[in-house]
Chains A and B, each alone.
Chain A
């Protein structure tokens, strides 16, 4: 029964993929595929919660490939919740471009199945299949507005670089296999490595670094974020990136980091580079999506502090907090950049405090969460990173976190300043009346950022329960 329940959420999403396909084939004029997808995702989320409540401490294994423990359930829950918000954002977008979004809903759900499988993977084979299932639909989603040049360009860039990175990753896995004779993560932990295995791990991490956008493998990220439609950007920033990070936590907790200390120290250096480069380059951006892309590069650098100090609790907390903030920010940007003039640029937010104060406040709260200001959940998540770095006596990482955050202030406050400035552009009428459901979602996200910033205990408890046992920082 436990096994069944662990597999149920992913099955539910898979069934809703089939359901949407069937409905779309049967009724080509069906105009609510996103709603249908949302129902499926919501059902899966409910199943995750039920199985968390009923079988809290039980773990079920599916051959050597997948494992359903608390960690995978909680991370799946986070991915599902993020997808729900992405679907709400998508509603805004498809209503603007007059697209019914049939294929979009299907692609999104398939990608979600891949993400959910990825966080359960314990074997290179299942990992690879899940990763491809996650990535391939995203290529199409990025280039969904096929008539738009930059979307096409972004899609192509993503395909090329993702293909390249997967090839490297596979080569790394092959080298590890050649060395150890196993593709199962648990078995790898017991083997000792020589140069070949070391190179294998290094290549494997290069592939992962491509996927999450760690410097110097981040080049594709700003272009793709900018070119992709806003909801797809939101999906990339949350589900696609979060799943890979969650997977990495599981991988390192199974394999252990003692044997690959050299690789780990290289990654630590790269994460410091990411923090600084991401924040410094964010300063110069005028396009909001590019700015968020560079900020996400910096955030990945931060998250790697917790990954490298094997503090899965901090990773979970940080990624969940980041999901909420980035979804809130992208949602507001979606609602404010309906007009072609200065689309998605900082100037499109001019005088937002005066024209749409509610959206402006929501965006401010999200940005303050990025900067890590107290009373927002972003502060506590950074604080957890700081304590995990301090416990591991990684003071250089802690200080990099602080200094680069201080640089990041400028970038985020540039947006806040723009919202407070009046200009001629703000005289334009903001004619469109927004559907109230979107505003409600933004309100919920904003309140979440603030509520968890004041009272983080619920999220803290969940993250503590889900923390992988082998990775306690002692």
Chain B
């Protein structure tokens, strides 16, 4: 219990201390210490399960568990935040403390989401992580940050409230004694499960974001501050919710609606790819590429097969890393060229070779080159899809091929070609090179030795 509580509390306490310190270097040091300690604790807390009473009149308890799947995601969130803090070293001289505080409290919420095994507790973290993130966007984002932040908050909050109704309905239908996930799994199935499950589905699809609910995503991506690494992990909570809660809690409903959602995923994959190809804004390309990837993830989840689940878990990790890294590179390009429009500048490779090399690596990963982590995930998902429905798998394969199209265009138009339109070309600093090296090392490691990750996550669904 203490270790699991520490995982939640440490970023929060570190954040509060960081906010109170005036010296920005000192507060960053505090934050880095807290995050590093949290990474270590994550290893010790692996496999723990703890319960404690919370609100007795509702029967809600505190139930935290760190199984394989949760462990991987918690560790990933920790590492990415740690790297984000290291990376942000150059950009937030003023208000550093506030920035760190918001970043670390968001992390606390995300870790809570990944560990909560009590539905009320889960909902609490689910909503809570959005508030600091909203303020991060609002206070540290780029030009259109107000619009982006408000749209993001309204959409996710409203869907969250519908999730709340569903949770309460599930609670009352199961007898009104417990919110505990394990107990609710064993409940009597009821006729209205379909209606109840819709609230869960909606909330998770908005967070993913699956196709009709993706409208908050591009504006958040384009206005996101240096906490880009955070955005990568945040949207993984939607997929986590579907895999952890939706599919196990409503197995009958899932099989019933699975075909429709796989088709929705495929539409998202193709639409996202085509939309990414037609974007001018370099960050929007990444946003739509994420929407495309999410389509694949959605289809993978609704195969309900443990092979596809494993693939999705790998994809969650590698995409969080890849998208975050590419967003950071875009931020760097924007800082040097003051433009995000494709065509305004080209041939940056000559002036920033390091950034170019890293960009190329992450683009390759995103395209699904064998030997890099994404390939493993995509392979497993496609395997699962083939076992379920070969037509879907064919469409998915075409979608993956499309990703090469827009990602290579992205790479080509920014870094290659005639050098032009650059005002203050400056390459990555030494610190950023370290950050990117660690990220690419993780992706390569997963690509060459995936069994460690796969064994860890697949224990969560007995694969």
Which residues B155-193 have CB closer than 8 A to chain A?
A: 157-158, 161-162, 164-165, 168-169, 171-172, 176
Q: Does A380 contact B (CB under 8 A)?
A: yes
State whether B131 touches A373 (Cβ < 8 A): yes
CA distance A70 to B308 in the complex (A): 57
Q: Does A379 contact B (CB under 8 A)?
A: yes
Closest chain-B Cβ to A82's Cβ sits at a distance in Å of 23
Which residues A429-470 have CB closer than 8 A to chain B?
A: 455-457, 460-461, 463-464
Which residues A300-329 have CB closer than 8 A to chain B?
A: 313
Closest chain-A Cβ to B247's Cβ sits at a distance in Å of 24
Chain A residue at minimal CB-CB distance from B124: A374
Q: Does B456 contact A (CB under 8 A)?
A: no
CA distance A410 to B128 in the complex (A): 18
Chain A residue at minimal CB-CB distance from B139: A420
State whether A417 touches B168 (Cβ < 8 A): no
Q: Does A128 contact B (CB under 8 A)?
A: no
Q: Does A387 contact B (CB under 8 A)?
A: yes
Q: Does B58 contact A (CB under 8 A)?
A: yes
Knowing A375-B128, A387-B168, A402-B164, the reply to whether A409 touches B57 (Cβ < 8 A) is: no
Residues of B within 8 A of A410 (CB): 154
State whether A409 touches B165 (Cβ < 8 A): no
Knowing A374-B127, A409-B157, A464-B57, the reply to whether A387 touches B146 (Cβ < 8 A) is: no
CA distance A26 to B231 in the complex (A): 68
Residues of A within 8 A of B161 (CB): 402, 405-406
Q: Does B453 contact A (CB under 8 A)?
A: no
State whether B55 touches A380 (Cβ < 8 A): yes
Q: Does A383 contact B (CB under 8 A)?
A: yes
State whether A383 touches B150 (Cβ < 8 A): no
Knowing A379-B124, A460-B56, the reply to whether A391 touches B176 (Cβ < 8 A) is: yes
How big is the A interface, by class? 20 to 34
State whether A373 touches B128 (Cβ < 8 A): yes
Main secondary structure of the interface of A (DSSP, over half): helix
State whether B169 touches A457 (Cβ < 8 A): no
CA distance A402 to B127 in the complex (A): 14
CB contact between B57 and one of A353, A406, A460 (< 8 Å): that residue:
A460
CB contact between B55 and one of A374, A413, A456 (< 8 Å): that residue:
A456
State whether A406 touches B165 (Cβ < 8 A): no
CA distance A420 to B136 in the complex (A): 11
State whether B165 touches A383 (Cβ < 8 A): no
Residues of A within 8 A of B164 (CB): 383, 386, 402
Q: Does B138 contact A (CB under 8 A)?
A: yes
Residues of B within 8 A of A359 (CB): none
Chain A residue at minimal CB-CB distance from B127: A374
Closest chain-A Cβ to B91's Cβ sits at a distance in Å of 19
Closest chain-A Cβ to B182's Cβ sits at a distance in Å of 20
State whether A413 touches B168 (Cβ < 8 A): no
CB contact between B153 and one of A398, A413, A464 (< 8 Å): that residue:
A413
* Interface residue ranges, B against A (CB under 8 Å): 54-58, 120, 123-128, 131, 135, 138-139, 146, 150, 153-154, 157-158, 161-162, 164-165, 168-169, 171-172, 176
What are the 7 tightest A-B residue pairs by CB atom distance, in nearest-first order? A374-B124, A390-B172, A406-B158, A374-B127, A402-B161, A390-B168, A386-B168
- Ordered by A's residue number, 21 sampled pairs between the chains whose C-beta atoms are within 8 Å are A374-B126, A375-B128, A386-B164, A386-B168, A387-B176, A390-B169, A390-B171, A390-B172, A391-B172, A399-B165, A402-B162, A402-B164, A402-B165, A409-B153, A409-B157, A413-B153, A417-B150, A420-B135, A457-B55, A460-B55, A463-B57
Known: A373-B131, A379-B127. 5 other contacts (CB 8 A): A386-B164, A390-B168, A417-B150, A457-B56, A461-B56
